[in-house]
Structure 1
Amino acid sequence: MKEQFQAYVLRQHDQEGVTASIEQLKKEDLPNGDVTVQIHYSSVNYKDGLATLEKGGVVRQYPMVPGIDLVGTVEESVSARFAPGDRVISTGFEPGVSHYGGYSEYARLQSEWLVPLPQGLSEQEAMAIGTAGFTAALSVDALIHAGISPDMGKILVTGATGGVGSMAIAILAKLGYTVTASTGKKQQEEALLRSLGASEVISREEADAPIKGAMGKQQWAAVVDPTAGPALAERLKQVQYGGAVAVSGLTGGSDFESTVFPFILRGIQLMGIDSVYCPMTKRERIWAKLGGEWKPDRALALGVREITLGQLPHTLENILRGGAVGRTVVRICSE
């Protein structure tokens, strides 16, 4: 392990607020944990962007190394689960929030936060999937367990050009579902969304148009919704009998107003998707699928951009502005 290594560090100051810069850290700067990982890649998520804001509601203490995702090689371990040389993934739990995360050449972590890198995935692919792809897979898994099958009709995916949306389209299409993609960037990104596997692309305005009355036309067998916000109420009105909605994010807002009618007249299910504290047995099962029959090949081939630590500030600002398309991975260390 290097005596000094690079990390992207957030610090809070009375006058300046929160600042971010690349610093040189030492081994003793790392927080407690039973596994030390040399990080090869991290990724960029909306939550990572929020972490850079003083009132973003993500970081619980400073200084902090953000980055909720990471993949790399175990350097040191006192855990029975992992040995030096093992390749591991960390998504969710505390890294990047209350524990130094993935934007660093090294991290010292709790072994219960780590999943072995599954066969079928390279390290770069694992971070191209990252929390966004893992959340998308959890959403698909929830729909399947709710009884949604490909022959039931169209699946609406909102925020389709974002990380969760693009990965969900690729997974659903691979499993034989018919996908309608909703996006605020229809003109610019329709070709990309169709390449990911969408059969139809509609504008955000079309998908979210207010519907008079308590119920609307039954359009969707299910919805994968990483955006939520007030428009969620309109989507609920359009889900067909026995359908389901998997909600995983709030880029459209945290509040919505609805009635009980979609639930008691059509028997639909509204399911919350949590990727942060997902149990390890389920986490390992989903990652195994992502390395196998659910691998989002089209998304990995079409929508992945690689950057360096030095390019993080602009990239994080862009994702907060809603300008992100597909997935961005951060090359941390190439050793």
Structure 2
Amino acid sequence: MSNKKMENEIIIVKEVTKSYNGFTALNSVSFTVKSGEVYVVLGPNGAGKSTLFNIIAGVMKPSSGSVKVLGDAPSNPSTRLKISYLPPTPPLYPWLTVMENIDFYSSLYGLSRNDARKEAMELLEILGIKDLSNKLASKLSTGQGKLASIVLALVVRPELLILDEPTTGLDPGMRRNIINLLRKQASNKTTILMATHLIDEAEELANRVAIMDKGRIIAEGGVEELKKLYAPPAVLVIKPSEENVKKASNVLKKHWSNIYSSNDEVRLHTENPDEDMPKAVLMLSENGIRILSVSVDKPTLEDVFLKLTGRRLTE
């Protein structure tokens, strides 16, 4: 491998395995993240994302395999000063105010208090929580704590930003504020590694996506590349009355194999939506199934995950 290529690879994960008491949380995981890239690890809860991120951030050691971050071990003190890691639970000291948390965290990175506070106030304003700067962390709502933690992670201007489910539990407005801020960080060439189970975040932010399931990366590539490789040209989305979803799925499976259902809809992966839509509607009507709506959608990463695993991300 050339030195130029190595310098361009901010994260190198090679055959990482992690086991706990006979349970394998990660199974031979390998990937690289390039400088300035937004790399999203997409997978359901329990896929192994948090274990992987703890290892990359130097919080945990792998059972086997290796990780290099910015050319060195992630546990190296000088490397840690170039990384900002935000775990799923906001890392705020409850007895300190938001700004006092920022003061403490930025001091660990050797930043001056004035510079850190100036940067923090700009970020707090962007996220719409400037008025919370003097509020105790223990008095923040879950959403406010998440937003304050994002400021904590960004105020030190890291070379590598590691975010584990940064928007989980937030309302749509808060999520949008964070996504917009991350887009801005990405435009400034900050390297971002992010875990999520939310399709829209991955599709909007990622340069590349790793789809993770049961401790393995089962597919990797650009969003459109993954859709082209694994998803159908179109998805027929049928919404029967709630009590008929399972029945509708079973009826359609008699004619099509690529049928996936959830609580309120049935998805049919199709090469010929114009031909399959009237055929599916007729079959359901003949079986006494009331249809609330039918539409033809473009495939999403949800359909890629369905194709690869036979399950939905949220199952």
- Identify the TM-score tier after normalising by the shorter chain: under 0.3
Structure label with greater radius of gyration? 2
Which TM-score applies when normalising by structure 1?
0.23
Q: Which of the pair is proportionally richer in helix?
A: 2
Which TM-score applies when normalising by structure 2?
0.24
